[in-house]
Structure 1
Amino acid sequence: MIRFENITKQNSHRILFFEASAALNRGEKIGLVGPNGAGKTTLFRMIAGEEAPDEGQVSIEKQVSVGYFNQDVGEMAGRSAVAEVMDGAGPVSTVAAELAQLEAAMCDPEQADAMDAIIERYGEVQARFEELGGYELEGRAREVLAGLSFSQEMMDTDVGALSGGWKMRVALGRILLMRPDAMLLDEPSNHLDLESLIWLEGFLKGYDGALLMTSHDREFMNRIVTKIIEIDGGSLTSYSGDYEFYERQRALNEKQQQAQFERQQAMLAKEVKFIERFKARASHAAQVQSRVKKLDKIERVEPPMRRHVVAFDFATPPRSGEDVAVLRNAHKAYGGRIIYEGLDFTIRRKERWCVMGVNGAGKSTLLKLVAGVSEPDSGTVTVGASVKMGYFSQHAMERLDGAMTVFESLESAFPQANQGSLRALAGCFGFSGDDVEKKCRFLSGGEKARLVMAIMLFNPPNFLVLDEPTNHLDLDTKEMLIKALAAYEGTMLFVSHDRHFLAALSNRVLELTPEGIHQYSGGYTEYVARTGHEAPGLHS
């Protein structure tokens, strides 16, 4: 259906692909993986025709429709969200546009002379519109937007009034409604809450076209893909199976390659030793020559290319008192919208609370109240004795000084620390080599998140309040962070839409629902087992 045949592609001085080949066949659901900068987005752009390989070719079968979703949604304004989504539905949206023009023409007195022709054309276009399922289109568009957590009111709102994250969902909705033969999704799980993510998972499982996607959410990837294509070192390698199978297979391949490399190195060392020892003896000349020729012919085994992910070790945080944060009879409303009415909630030392709830349930509001960023309208929020808090939110990323480099930001936060320890810290969070000299204004969302996290965790607080800490983080950094936080000895209160993160780190669940607030002892995995759903209001 779509084939990459011996493609070579260079980006500036960096070779992304060298004589690489792979294929996307009908009905396949493939996860595209590789380190940051390996060329995943470039591969998508080559299929979409936005870039061309330097050598080789990308071939797409005739009549195959391709839908491409990426993070760059461009300008959107002047139409409602539902109209914007319907506009991406392929041929039917063109017919719908003509239908709207003809309806306007029929109401225009100045076109009275041409009315017979307009009415005749209207009949033809209307028949075509019906044939293409046009009258069901708006219903389907609203169904997709509802799955992506839009309220009816938001669906009819001008897209220009929506935030970047919601515009991203509109752009994703366009591709989903289109249902092309091949769908290319570059990080569709970014900006989605857990409910939307689970809905999208179900949608993509039921989608019968070919799918090629990247995602920093391993659980999402695991449940959808049945094949992995890995980009590494300029080549494309296919693995049949989900992401977990790929990880195991890759580790096994590395182990086998390392063993093969070591065996060959031992054999080569032995041969070289023989040649060195007997090269001066005429009696062994023939044997020496034979071994030299043998060495020249041997195909050398390369050692496996290992991805270098630096582990981050927490310093032990100071011990806090037993009651870390206490909310008593807390009320909070925004205008006429009541978020909390008489909330009582206590966080004790070493508890790790994950907060669950649909959009607007008050997850971020709770974190802001505990962090002291927001005040309750009435009632009290008390932070306990000896509590040193670290609060991470998307807003924290905006407070970075754009004129400073990554390293200057670290130095400014920790003027007493030595350069070696700051460079080690930067390395743990994915800033190696020249990356530390990048100005903050040029950092991506993921890089900003990593830098803020590094600053917060270097001299660790004993109470972490984290609002979507894994947004924008790649799989390797996320895994490093999970391992680091699993060993963390402090207390945590967090919101996340990443189920792997939730399951690995929580030991308590606070569920916010319209019917009330529920507290569960045991972490996210126990919560799912006990309630029968992965998120409030979604039944499995």
Structure 2
Amino acid sequence: MIRLDNISKHNGQRVIFIEASAALLKGEKVGLVGPNGAGKSTLFRMITKQEEPDEGNVLTDRGVTIGFFSQDVGEMSGHSAVAEVMNGAGAVSEVAAELAELEAAMADPERMDELDSIIERFGEVQSRFEDLGGYALDGKAREVLHGLGFTQEMMDGDVSLLSGGWKMRVALGRILLMKPDVMLLDEPSNHLDLESLIWLEQFLAGYDGALLMTSHDRAFMNRIINKVIEIDGGNLTTFSGNYEFYEEQRALNEKHQQAQFERQQAMLAKEINFIERFKARASHAAQVQSRVKKLDKIDRVEPPKRRQAMSFEFAPAPRSGDVVVNIQDVDKRYGSRTIYDGLDLMIRRRERCCIMGVNGAGKSTLLKLVTGTTEPDSGTVTVGSNVKIGYFAQHAMDLLDGDRTVFEMLEYTFPQANQGALRSLAGGFGFSGDEVEKSCRVLSGGEKARLVMALMLFDPPNFLVLDEPTNHLDMATKEMLITALADYDGTMLFVSHDRHFLAALSNRVLEVTPEGVHQYGGGYTEYVARTGQEAPGLH
């Protein structure tokens, strides 16, 4: 359906693609992977003709419809969320818009003299709307928005009043309702809670068109894709299978290439040694010449490219008391809405509690109560002895000083630390070389999240409170964080919609419901086995 034929692309001095080829065939569900900045978004833009390759061709079969979801959703205003989603459905959305205009005209007292002609036109347009399946479309649009977490009130409300994250969901809903022949989805799993993520997973698994997508959520990627296209060093390499298979195959390929490289290096060393020993002897001149020619003709095996792995190790945190937080008889309301009523909860040292609950259940509120950033209406929240809290809040990235560079931010926060320690901290969180001189203002969401974590973890707290810590993080950073936190000997309380992160780190589950907090011993994996569901809202 789509073919990339020997494409080359440069951005200034930087080579993005060099004679790269790949194909997306009918019914394939392909994950596009590669390090940040490798060219994934550029590839999407070339397929959608927003950019052209410098050389080679991007070929799309005649008549193929393409739906493209990107993080740049554009302006949305003047419609309800459901109308905005229906706008992506082609001709029927134009007819729906005219129908809405005619309905308004019929109710306009200043146009009463035109009423007969308006009613006649309304009948024609309504008939056309029915023929195009318009009334069914409204139901389908609502079904999609419900799956993406919208309430009826939000569906019918003004789309311009929604936050950026909810507008992203509207833009995604538009593509899903359109059901094009090919879907291009750039990070569709961002901004989704666990329930919406699982719904999207099931929707895409049942979608019979071709799919090309990027995602930093490995569980999501694993369950949908049947092929991987990797961008690395300007090349496109295709692997059959899901993300897990790709990782195994890539590691195996690297191992084989390393073994080939080492064998060839040993052979070359032996030949060079012979040439050096005998090049001055006339009796061996023919053999020396023969070996020199042989060496010139050998295709050299390159060593495998090593992805720069980030790693961070916690310094030992001071030991806290056995009771880290004790919540007794806490009430919390926002206006007329009760979030907690008589909540009792104790968190003990070295517990790793993940908080589950549908949107609006009070997950972030619980973290705020524990960290003292919000007060209970009644009851007590007591933090235990020697407890030092590190809190990663969703707004933490907005608090970085845009005028400082990454390194200046580290120096400002830790004035007593030596430069070597700070450089090694920056490197552990992916800021190597000149990247430490980047201004905080120009950092991407993922870079900001990494910097905030570096600031929080350098002088380690013994109680980590994390609200969606993996939002904006790529897979490599998530893996680094999971590895580091697996060895952390403090206590954790966290909210996350990343199932890999939840399963790897939790040893207790707190499920927030309207009836109170249900507690489950064992981690997320045990919770899924016990309840038969991956998220609370899937009852």
Q: What displacement does 1:120 show?
A: 7.2
In 2: Cα distance, 1:289 partner to 1:275 partner? 8
Q: Check conservation: 1:106, 1:115, Cα contact below 8 A.
A: no
Give the AA of the match of 2:306.
Answer: R
In 2: Cα distance, 1:228 partner to 1:270 partner? 40
- The alignment of Structure 1 onto Structure 2 pairs a total of residues equal to 538
Residues 13-55 of structure 1 deviation map (CA, whole Å, 9 limit, x = unaligned): 2111000000111111011100000000111111111111111
Q: Which residue of 1 aligns with 2:8?
A: 8
In 1: Cα distance, 2:81 partner to 2:120 partner? 31
Q: Which residue of 2 aligns with 1:292?
A: 292
Q: Check conservation: 1:221, 1:242, Cα contact below 8 A.
A: yes
Q: Check conservation: 2:341, 2:516, Cα contact below 8 A.
A: no
Q: Which residue of 2 aligns with 1:177?
A: 177
Q: Check conservation: 1:190, 1:472, Cα contact below 8 A.
A: yes
Q: Which residue of 2 aligns with 1:504?
A: 504
Q: What displacement does 1:278 show?
A: 1.7
TM-score by length of 1: 0.97
Aligned residue for 2:183, secondary structure, equals: strand
Q: What displacement does 1:310 show?
A: 2.3
Aligned residue for 2:536, secondary structure, equals: coil
In 2: Cα distance, 1:505 partner to 1:94 partner? 49
Q: What displacement does 1:9 show?
A: 0.7
Q: What displacement does 1:232 show?
A: 0.2
Change (3 A) 1:515 1:537: farther
Q: Which residue of 2 aligns with 1:17?
A: 17
In 2: Cα distance, 1:86 partner to 1:231 partner? 34
Q: What displacement does 1:160 show?
A: 1.1
Q: Check conservation: 1:88, 1:174, Cα contact below 8 A.
A: yes
Change (3 A) 1:341 1:104: closer
Change (3 A) 1:320 1:290: same
Matched, 1:381 2:381: yes
Matched, 1:59 2:30: no
Q: What displacement does 1:284 show?
A: 1.9
Q: Which residue of 2 aligns with 1:80?
A: 80
Q: Which residue of 1 aligns with 2:461?
A: 461
Aligned residue for 1:45, secondary structure, equals: helix
In 2: Cα distance, 1:322 partner to 1:433 partner? 42
Give the AA of the match of 1:362.
Answer: G
Q: Which residue of 1 aligns with 2:312?
A: 312
Please identify, of 519-528 and 294-303, the stretch whose mean Cα deviation from structure 2 is larger: 294-303
Q: What displacement does 1:75 show?
A: 1.7
Q: Which residue of 2 aligns with 1:344?
A: 344
In 2: Cα distance, 1:313 partner to 1:107 partner? 68
Aligned residue for 1:15, secondary structure, equals: strand
Aligned residue for 1:87, secondary structure, equals: helix
Aligned residue for 1:166, secondary structure, equals: helix
Q: Check conservation: 2:340, 2:516, Cα contact below 8 A.
A: no
In 1: Cα distance, 2:333 partner to 2:119 partner? 54
In 2: Cα distance, 1:128 partner to 1:186 partner? 35
Give the AA of the match of 1:451.
Answer: L
Q: What displacement does 1:282 show?
A: 2.1
Q: Check conservation: 2:106, 2:115, Cα contact below 8 A.
A: no
In 1: Cα distance, 2:266 partner to 2:260 partner? 10
Q: What displacement does 1:129 show?
A: 2.9
In 2: Cα distance, 1:133 partner to 1:60 partner? 29
Aligned residue for 1:509, secondary structure, equals: strand
Instruction: For 1:396-411, list aligned pairs within 5 A.
Output: 396-411=396-411
Q: What displacement does 1:408 show?
A: 0.4
Instruction: For 1:300-449, list aligned pairs within 5 A.
Output: 300-449=300-449
In 2: Cα distance, 1:74 partner to 1:86 partner? 16
Q: What displacement does 1:101 show?
A: 4.4
Q: What displacement does 1:288 show?
A: 1.6
Aligned residue for 2:395, secondary structure, equals: helix
Q: Check conservation: 2:310, 2:476, Cα contact below 8 A.
A: no
Q: Which residue of 1 aligns with 2:266?
A: 266
In 2: Cα distance, 1:420 partner to 1:132 partner? 67
Give the AA of the match of 1:147.
Answer: G
Residues 241-288 of structure 1 deviation map (CA, whole Å, 9 limit, x = unaligned): 111111100000000000001111111111111122222222222222
In 1: Cα distance, 2:227 partner to 2:536 partner? 31
In 2: Cα distance, 1:376 partner to 1:104 partner? 48
* Aligned alpha-carbon RMSD (Å): 1.7
Q: Which residue of 1 aligns with 2:525?
A: 525
Instruction: For 1:170-209, list aligned pairs within 5 A.
Output: 170-209=170-209
Q: Which residue of 1 aligns with 2:36?
A: 36
In 2: Cα distance, 1:239 partner to 1:411 partner? 44
Q: What displacement does 1:102 show?
A: 5.1
Residues 216-249 of structure 1 deviation map (CA, whole Å, 9 limit, x = unaligned): 1000100111111100010000111111111100
In 2: Cα distance, 1:60 partner to 1:430 partner? 37
In 1: Cα distance, 2:113 partner to 2:59 partner? 50
Change (3 A) 1:297 1:127: farther
Q: What displacement does 1:100 show?
A: 3.7
In 2: Cα distance, 1:361 partner to 1:113 partner? 51
Residues 480-516 of structure 1 deviation map (CA, whole Å, 9 limit, x = unaligned): 0000000000000000000000000000000012233
Q: Check conservation: 1:33, 1:214, Cα contact below 8 A.
A: yes
Q: Check conservation: 2:96, 2:134, Cα contact below 8 A.
A: yes
Q: Check conservation: 1:429, 1:450, Cα contact below 8 A.
A: yes
Give the AA of the match of 1:488.
Answer: Y
Change (3 A) 1:106 1:158: closer
Aligned residue for 1:394, secondary structure, equals: coil
Q: What displacement does 1:95 show?
A: 2.8
Residues 451-506 of structure 1 deviation map (CA, whole Å, 9 limit, x = unaligned): 00001011100000000000000000000000000000000000000000000000
In 2: Cα distance, 1:416 partner to 1:232 partner? 40
Change (3 A) 1:23 1:278: same
Please identify, of 349-358 and 439-448, the stretch whose mean Cα deviation from structure 2 is larger: 439-448
In 2: Cα distance, 1:234 partner to 1:360 partner? 44
TM-score by length of 2: 0.97
Aligned residue for 1:511, secondary structure, equals: strand
In 1: Cα distance, 2:344 partner to 2:218 partner? 35
Give the AA of the match of 2:447.
Answer: E
Q: What displacement does 1:106 show?
A: 6.7
Q: Check conservation: 2:343, 2:516, Cα contact below 8 A.
A: no
In 2: Cα distance, 1:376 partner to 1:106 partner? 52
Instruction: For 1:141-290, list aligned pairs within 5 A.
Output: 141-290=141-290
In 2: Cα distance, 1:22 partner to 1:131 partner? 40
Aligned residue for 2:228, secondary structure, equals: strand
